[in-house]
Each structure stands twice: as structure tokens, then as C-alpha cells.
Chain A
């Protein structure tokens, strides 16, 4: 009798023990979506991340014909599907041309009220680039194979190039703007950004473009990707714009004082 009792108790304890060995009970990663803890493992992953960022950034520049002939408002048939710009996720809105929503007007009723879309989505693009740069740089830190490292660095370079391109648009349209070059983890950080002078941003852009020039390959791996010539061209353009502003002035931007010697030396 007692034996049986002891055996029963022992069995139950073992049973409970086995079941309690469910150590990862509180670790239940989602199976529906890709989790970043399983991402960032190979160079392919880095390329996917870069592609994801590029897929959004390209829509910031794909309707630049709106700016043809220096016109402020261009008459086009229609742009964004009504109501989708603000409600849907940023990538879908961008594909529908949400960034350009303020660049065209059928009639002056809403005079310029969507102009901030371009500002908003430019920063969206910058956040995408920052995310890619941080993720790939973490991978470089872990990587040991020099071939892979150079591939990863070229991805970082490409992302930095895109970032510089976006900042060029930002400063040429809005002058002094906040400068973000790191991934933002807490949304409250973005609530207290302040504008930086365009000189500061221009210096940072040139730094990015230098890095891009160093790390990008001589020829693009695929049609549509960027390579050294692109970095050089953009660097030249930035310098040219800077020199022009300094030489001819930019009266509307009252925080900027042109300096003639800047125009000569840079």
C-alpha cells in the first residue's frame, strides 16, 4: 500500500517536472511575420534591408517632372487615391504618389496644404536609411570574412548616398531642417528635434558621400543600383549648390548668410 503510494507520488512529481521544463514558455516568437531577431544574418539579408529602404526612397524622386519648368503647381490628372495618404501604411501611400501630394493643384482651394507630405516622407526615407545603416554596421562588427565585409560596406555606402540625396532635397526646399542620422528607438525623441543650419547638414552630407565614394563598387552590380560615379556626381552637385548659394545668396532663408569666400574655396 505504502509502496504504491510512494510510487504514485514519484510518478506525478516526474510528470510535473517534465511539464515544468517548458522553459521557453514565455518566448513565443510570431510565426506570421519576419522577426528581426532572425534577420540580419547573411549578406542577402542586408541586401533585402537595403532594397526595402530603396523601395520607399525611390518614390520621393519618381515624379520630379512635377517640378519641370520650375513651376510651383503643375496641372496633373490626379495623384493620390483620395484618403489613402494618411490612413494607409507609408509604403502604400508612397507608391500612390503621396509624397507629391502638395506639388500639384487643380485649383488653389487648398493652397499648399499638403506640401508637408514631401517633408514627412523625406524623413520617412531618412529613417529607412538610418535603419539599414545601423543594422548593416552591426553585421560588419560581427563579420569576419573580408569579402563579405566589403559587400556590406557597399550597402552602407549606398544607403548613405540615398540619405545625402534626401537631405539635399530637404535643405533645398526647406532650408534649415533637423538632422537625424541614427535610428530612433523612442518616439518621444523625435518630438524635440530642432533645426540645424544648412552648413552643418551640408558637411554631414559630404562626409556621407565621401564614404560612399570609398565603398561603392566601380560599376553597379545591377541596372538601377548605384556605384562610384553616382557618389561623385552627387558630391559635385552638392558642392555646386553650396557655392551657388554662397555666391548668389539665398534671400528667403534668413538664417543663412552667404559668404563669398566659401563660394570660392569649396
Chain B
């Protein structure tokens, strides 16, 4: 702290200014302000014609602005306003101009003259016109964009929601962006993102770029660190990412301290809990479940003597189950393995800076406890972004962030999934809630054993979920470190030369050591089957990967003849990937308390390991031309060379061109519309993009595989060339045409964006057919066949206004996408993929409902039906029900909706704020046919639901909603009986917050204190009978979850 004395006035103003800006204690500032006045008045008479000016700075609602900057134009003489909006600036000449500026407000310049008091009211800058959007390798003003780019600025209404990852936060905000979350499991609840429909039948996910580094995991980012998210949707915007931009690009910029002024520290914390609002209600009454089995068997004419479960077993369970819960359990498994999930998120961040340097630092902690027991996910994030001006035209900076997570789980999808550390091992089939019968005792502490199957006739491999979730845990530790450094040099005005180098390092380690235990039969008082063998072992898997990126770029910006602006960009880029994995497992643990590899015998071991590399070299160029602020032209070209292809086939060219016309600025139009239309722009773009993500790294290399045989008692080592190459294999190419219309009306109150696009993907990679003369030796190579077209419309409408103190904004976005498979070079059989039809359209049998009586059945086509069966319609009239009787619905899609929409409402009044997000889809129809509501139930170990008792058709229940129970029937065929419209409207988020008036909080040195309550998935409106219309996998039975959370944000 430096005290002001009279001596100071002799030092240069420059140094005082420098020190001023470094001070960050409000108290000190206060004192400083006080003490500044003394030397100035003392010195004033010694300087010529210079005087000091003071005053107050207000905003348009007459609140004082703290921290507004007042500079004497073209000098470094400046100051900032204090807590009351007062400022004093000394050594001001009469002909100086004072520049008043503050982030979010229009600058004002006022000539001093001989005034000593200048009060200023600052106007908010027009958000819609001044908005700057991040695009590939740079940024542009939204009004000058010719490509289809949607931007989201991440503020508290987004980062305050209690969601664990950034991908889920994007749902419902951007037209054309489809976000689907399949699971709410802690640590595995990321969402799938698709931009503008399914671009290809192979990997169609967009490229994620964070701070100019492509290929980053969006789900490990700390939401608090994100400043803005841009979604690049068409060729003009994405072609700058060339061979990976075919599915769109999501650009994320993290916060920096630029323009922050004085340092501010923010602390935020949320605590939320989640509960299931919809799940399968498994029958906990075991006697009744056995009756359901018996009913199904009887329907298939199984005689009483051949029934698995005899009447005696059922009666005994019914009676004794009421008094002896250990020997005759009726377990409700949801009670046992489900708990209230919680999610906690704490963050501390600091930002600050001045003209020479600025920084942003943050630390975060996320702790999530999943719905199922023992599913925990902890993650720590830390970030440090720093920019420093070395010299006048040389800037350097660093972006450093790291995260560390620990993830514990039993089944990889929550209540189902893969059961092994080597994630390519399929689930063995016995770990599934459909086998979790009610007749198993979870655990008896007296005996210390997990229950097994006890009923006579029951399948001994039934599932004890508690045992699984306690004894088969996997632990995954993952660390990531991302760092990038840049150097930016501006040798001549307008020309920037920049070099940056980034490194992303990931390391993960998964460990599994199942606890040996044996099931206990409490009725016979004996141990029965082994849930985990005594010789069960330990397995570990370690994966390490790093990726480096080097960018060298030149950017020149010049305005000619006042009205013509040209911006030229050239980038050279190199990317390199390296991955390695190591796997080890041993059987025979020496003691159940030890769980490391060394604590197991070496008799049975298994190991594996390999490394993989890939490289990409690119040349990128872009030219922007802007004439008269009305005519816009942009040309992009990217040349990518990838190591995935053979020399001679490695390079691809991805050009694009786009034009824009701001017709609202035309002289002949402007006078007529300037009253109501602030800005109108017509834009068009066309370009080519590529997608190389489905090409494997070694797919184009001629490889030999081992093929040995025994010769004379020894192995004769041999190698064969069995994977035939297709030398012509290349990228999937996409060309996109986009036409858009942007408007801003009524003084920035209404802004609309409309887009029409046509995406054509050619050369989709698929397995090809092979002649019989080759298929005896070779596996067929993949070729580029298949042409898929996606056409659609997008609309984005925002209304922002205020009525005195009440501010509100409404955003509605909607998008519609239709696909068509135009060409397929090989034979396609009848199915839901067909030429000139939408991709995966609805292809179904028709039916007339459930048959009530035999006479009704005799009137229909022969299909071996009984009363209680679904009667299908013989559409083609050939007298039998076969695959040929299926009907196609061109407008109904089975796997993906055609229409997505979102409605975002935000209101604030005085200190209160309320925001609501609704999200929904339409156009998807699917069958409610899952293994949990099956009417063809297996003979044994089926966990029926309560609907299995009340819904199936029987002679006593002719109004039953389901067909009759049976072992096997054709009632599970995909017919319109099971068909549901999966359109839904969901209240995704409701957030209610209150900001305590700054007058009160500033007394405690707090600038801003906000508390809020937020809830996710409050309700869903849909006609779907199943679990969740959003899920893509029908067999996924993870419950639909709603969460409620409280949070607080404190800014110092």
C-alpha cells in the first residue's frame, strides 16, 4: 500500500495510474480517493491551466456505476469511479476530452472546457447489434456474420443449474442442436449432441473446440469457466475445421480477465438432490410374481404337473412371507439399491487485470452421488488463464487447466451395462433388473451373507442387485491437464502474427476387485451358488493419452477508402495424438481385504497393451470482405492431410463461400424502416466439409495377421493378409447450402433468425460386399457408398424488453429436419433404411387391437391367435401375416425426432429473478416394447411389474390394456398397438433467485450476493407409456429423475 503525500504530485501521473490499477482492496481505494484530493489541491496552483474535474456516473436507471473508467483521450491520465459512482480526475486541460467507458455501455466523450463538474449518464450498448460472436480462429460481430452461427453466453442462469456437465446444459437453447441425455448416472450422464439431424450413419457427433484446441471432452469442463459457446452449423462457419467439421462444430471460450478492471472474486455453491419421478414399479410381492409366471405358462397349455412353480410354493410364500421376511422375502429392490442422489458444486474464481495484464483463475469441486448406491463421482477442476502484454505490440498468454476425478460404479450404465474393466466386454446377461426377483433376501447381517434363490423351481441365476452393487465395484481415476501458450505480435498496425502451442494430457486408471461371496439359502440353511468365486481376481486398466497442437497464424485487417474492410487470415496447424493402454489381471486373490494386482497369485494372469498414434497437418485460409457495412463476402479454404490415409490420398480440400447483404442499411430502404427495423440481413453460404472420424487409424495400412498351424509337433508361425484394402477409401464428404434471414426490430427488442439448410453427405462409409472369389480369404473392406440428405428449417426468436423495473426476455427456438437416403451402392433389403425414404423411418405392422373372442378371430387372416392376442392386419392380402405386411410412415421417425423446440423465459424485478426453460420434441414415434413390459415372459426368474398383474387381458379382465400373458406369442411384434407418439414437452429448468440489494451487501464488502433455487425436469407432458421419451435405447431402464437444488453466489 502506498500512501499519498505531497511528494507524489511531482512523480509522473503514469506511475500513479499504474499503481492505482493494481490495488484491489475497496477500503484502500476509499482512503486513496480521500487522500488524492489533498495533494491535488496542494499542487493545483503550481500547474498551468490545468484543473481537476469531478462528477458522478450513472446508468439509465439512475444507479451509480462503480468502476467505470474515465480517461483523458490519447493520454494515460485516468481514474475509475468509486462505490458511489464519484470520480475525480486531475491535471485536465481545457481542451482535453474525457472518455467515459464501462463494459456493456456505450462510450461517451465529453470535452472538458472549463467545467469542473461533469456528471454522465451512460447508455447500455445495444446488445443485439454489438454482440460479438466467437467463430473459428477469431471472432466477428454478429451483424457481419454470413454463416449460420448461434451463440450462447453462459451466465448464471446456465452455470447455476445443478447439472454436472456442459453438454446437458445446451439442451433447448439453440435451434438445430439436439441434445439427448440417456442416463442420469453420476459420472456417466453426458448427453449426445447432434447438429442439424443425423449427418451420417457413422459417428455424427460434432467437433468440440475449447480455446482453439479441437477434440476436447466437453463433459469435464467446469461450467463456471465458460464464457461463451458458439455453435457453427453450416459450411461457411465449419469449413474452417475441414475434415472434421461435417457434423458441425461447438466452440467454447473460457473466461479471461480482459476488460475486468479491478479484481473481483466470486464464490458460488449449489447443493441439490435428485429423486426419481418415474421408474418401473417392480412387483415386490413374490407370491404374486410367481402367479404371473404360472398364468403365462398355463396360457401355453403347460399342465399343472409341469409348472415350474407349484401351488404349494405360492401358498407357502403368501402365508409365511407375512411373518418371516428372511426366509420368505418380498423384496422391493428399489428401496434397497436406490437412494436420494445429491449433487454439490462449489467454485471460487477470481478475475482482474488492466491494460497490461489480466487473469482469470478458478477452482471447482463437483460431488455427485448417483441414484444407485455406491455410485459416486467426485471431480476437482482448476484453471488459470493469463494474458500479459510484454511490449507495446507483443502479447503473450497462457491457458492452463486441470481436472481430477474419481468415479465409482458397479454397472456402466447405472442399473445395466457392461460389467468389466475392459469396456469392450459385453455384459454377461445376468446382471439386469429383469432378473431381480422379489424372492431373494438382500442381506442378512446375522449370518453375514447375501441371499440367493430359495423358491423351489426358481432359476438359480437370478440377480441379487444389492450383492452386485456392493461387491462388484469398479473405480476409475482420471486426470487431465490442458495447457496452451501463445505469443501474439503486431509488427504493423492491423497485422497480427500469432503462434500458439497446446497440450492435452489424459490419464485414467480403472480398478476392479470383486469381493468373493456365496449366496445363502435361508430356508435350507446352506450356502448355494457363488456370486463371486473364491478364485476371483483383480483387474486393472490404465490408459494414457496426449494430444499436441501447434498453430501459427497471420491475420491482417485493413480498411480501404473508408468503406471497404478486408480481413485475411492464414493458419498453419499441426495436430498429433498419442494413446497407450495397459491392462493386467490376475485371478486368486490372497486375501479378501487386499485389492491390488500384487495381492493375487501369478498362476492365472492376463495382460494386454498397445499404443496408437495419429497426425494431422492443415493449411487454412480465410478472407472477409465488408463493403459499406452492407455487402459481406467470406471465403474459406482448408486443406487437411491425415495420417489415416495412404500417401497420395492424404490431402483433402474443403472450400466454402458465403455472402451477406445487410439490406436494412441500404440508403433507399433505411429511411422507411429505421423506425422499426434496426437491422436486416440476408445471407447465403455453400461449402464442403469432411468427416474422417469413422475411418480407423490403421484401416488404410496393409496389415498381416497371425495364422499358425502345427507342423511336426511345433508351431509353424504364419502370417496372412486377410483384411483387404480399399485404396480409394476417403473422407465422408458433406456439402451444405444455407440460406438465412436475420432481423433486429424495435430498438433491439425483437431479434429473429431464420435458416434453411440442405446438407448432402456423400460417400458414407459402410461395409461392402465381396465376390465369392475373394470372400474365402479376405474380409470385405469398407467403401464410400451411401448418400444421405438432410433438409431443414430453423427459427430463433428473442424478445427482450422492460416495463419500468421489470425486465423480461423470451426466447423461442424451433427446428425441423427431414432426412432422405438418396443412394446406396449396394443391395438394401426391406427395412427401416431404404432408398428415397427418410433414414430409419417408421415401418410397422398394422393391427386392429386385442381379440375378444374366437368368432372375432375367425373373421381375420389366419395368424394362430387366441382371445387376448393382438390381431394384425394382412395389408397385402396374400392370406398370411409376414414381413410383407408392414407399412411405412414417411413422416414418422423411429429413432430421432424431426422437430425440436425450446422456450426460455427470463424475468427480473428489483432483486428477484425467475427463469424457466421448456424443451420438447415432436415427430418421433416408437414402440413401447421392452423386456420390462413384455407379455412373453420367460418361464423363470422374471421380475414382473405391477402392471403385469392388472393389465394383461384375461377372460376376467377383458378390458385389459395389454395382450394376454404367454410364453411365446407374436404379441411382441412391432405393430401399431405398441406404437406411441414420443412427442414431449418438458419443463427442463425453473430457477428462482434473489439478489440482496447492493446497498446492504456493500457494507460487508460484497458486491453482489444472490441466492437461488433451481429445479430440473419438473414435469414432462407426453403420450408415451414407457419410461422416458427422450431415451434412445428402449431397453434402458434408468429412472426419469428430477432434481432440486439451492445455490448461492457471492461476488467480492
Contact surface of A with B, Cβ cutoff 8 Å: 1, 4-5, 8-9, 12, 15-16, 19-20, 22, 25-37, 39, 48-56, 58, 89-91, 116, 119-125, 127-128, 131, 178, 180, 184-187, 190-191, 193, 222-225
5 contacts between A and B (CB under 8 A): A26-B641, A27-B647, A37-B702, A91-B707, A187-B778
Nearest A-chain residue to B572, judged by Cβ = A20
CB proximity of B776 to chain A, nearest CB, Å:
2
B717 within 8 A of A: yes
Provide the bound-state CA to CA distance between A50 and B489, in Å.
61
| B698: contacting residue among A20, A32, A90, A185, CB under 8 A | A32
Nearest A-chain residue to B552, judged by Cβ = A16
CB proximity of A129 to chain B, nearest CB, Å:
10
| A50: contacting residue among B390, B487, B718, CB under 8 A | B718
B727 within 8 A of A: yes
Asked if A127 and B776 sit within 8 Å, CB to CB, the answer is yes
Asked if B643 and A30 sit within 8 Å, CB to CB, the answer is no
B613 within 8 A of A: yes
Asked if B574 and A52 sit within 8 Å, CB to CB, the answer is no
Asked if B643 and A187 sit within 8 Å, CB to CB, the answer is no
B709 within 8 A of A: yes
CB proximity of B69 to chain A, nearest CB, Å:
27
Interface size for B (C-beta < 8 A) is 62
B970 within 8 A of A: no
Nearest B-chain residue to A183, judged by Cβ = B721
Asked if A31 and B612 sit within 8 Å, CB to CB, the answer is yes
B1 within 8 A of A: no
| A8: contacting residue among B390, B703, B704, CB under 8 A | B390
Asked if B643 and A12 sit within 8 Å, CB to CB, the answer is no
B638-654: CB near A (< 8 Å → 1, else 0) gives 00011100010010000
Which A residues are in CB contact (< 8 Å) with B501?
A: 19
Q: 19 extra interchain contacts, Cβ-Cβ under 8 A, other than A36-B703, A37-B702?
A: A26-B616, A26-B647, A27-B647, A31-B610, A31-B613, A39-B719, A48-B717, A52-B718, A53-B720, A56-B720, A120-B773, A120-B775, A122-B776, A123-B774, A127-B776, A186-B727, A190-B774, A193-B773, A225-B711
Asked if A58 and B709 sit within 8 Å, CB to CB, the answer is yes
Asked if B775 and A27 sit within 8 Å, CB to CB, the answer is no
Asked if B772 and A35 sit within 8 Å, CB to CB, the answer is no
CB proximity of B714 to chain A, nearest CB, Å:
9
B243-280: CB near A (< 8 Å → 1, else 0) gives 00000000000000000000000000000000000000
Nearest A-chain residue to B702, judged by Cβ = A36
Known: A26-B615, A53-B720. A120 touches B489 (CB 8 A): no
CB proximity of A235 to chain B, nearest CB, Å:
24
Provide the bound-state CA to CA distance between A188 and B501, in Å.
45
B107 within 8 A of A: no
Asked if B718 and A224 sit within 8 Å, CB to CB, the answer is no
Asked if A180 and B610 sit within 8 Å, CB to CB, the answer is no
Nearest B-chain residue to A34, judged by Cβ = B704
B781 within 8 A of A: yes
Q: Per DSSP, are chain A's interface residues mostly helix, strand or loop, or mixed?
A: helix
Asked if A124 and B718 sit within 8 Å, CB to CB, the answer is no
CB proximity of A128 to chain B, nearest CB, Å:
5
Asked if B698 and A33 sit within 8 Å, CB to CB, the answer is yes
Which B residues are in CB contact (< 8 Å) with A34?
A: 703-706, 719
CB proximity of B727 to chain A, nearest CB, Å:
7
Provide the bound-state CA to CA distance between A27 and B616, in Å.
10
Nearest B-chain residue to A1, judged by Cβ = B391
CB proximity of B545 to chain A, nearest CB, Å:
14
Asked if B721 and A131 sit within 8 Å, CB to CB, the answer is yes
Known: A26-B641, A30-B698, A223-B712. A51 touches B776 (CB 8 A): no
Which A residues are in CB contact (< 8 Å) with B776?
A: 90, 120-125, 127
B770 within 8 A of A: yes
Asked if A187 and B781 sit within 8 Å, CB to CB, the answer is yes
Asked if B771 and A187 sit within 8 Å, CB to CB, the answer is yes
Nearest A-chain residue to B550, judged by Cβ = A19
Asked if B711 and A32 sit within 8 Å, CB to CB, the answer is no
| A49: contacting residue among B391, B719, B775, CB under 8 A | B719
Provide the bound-state CA to CA distance between A190 and B777, in Å.
13
Known: A89-B779, A187-B724. A49 touches B576 (CB 8 A): no
Which B residues are in CB contact (< 8 Å) with A27?
A: 615, 643, 647
Asked if A28 and B697 sit within 8 Å, CB to CB, the answer is yes
Of A16, A52, A121, chain B has the most CB atoms within 10 Å of the CB of A52
Asked if A52 and B613 sit within 8 Å, CB to CB, the answer is no
CB proximity of A188 to chain B, nearest CB, Å:
9
Provide the bound-state CA to CA distance between A15 and B487, in Å.
12
Asked if A128 and B777 sit within 8 Å, CB to CB, the answer is yes
Nearest B-chain residue to A128, judged by Cβ = B777
Asked if B574 and A19 sit within 8 Å, CB to CB, the answer is yes
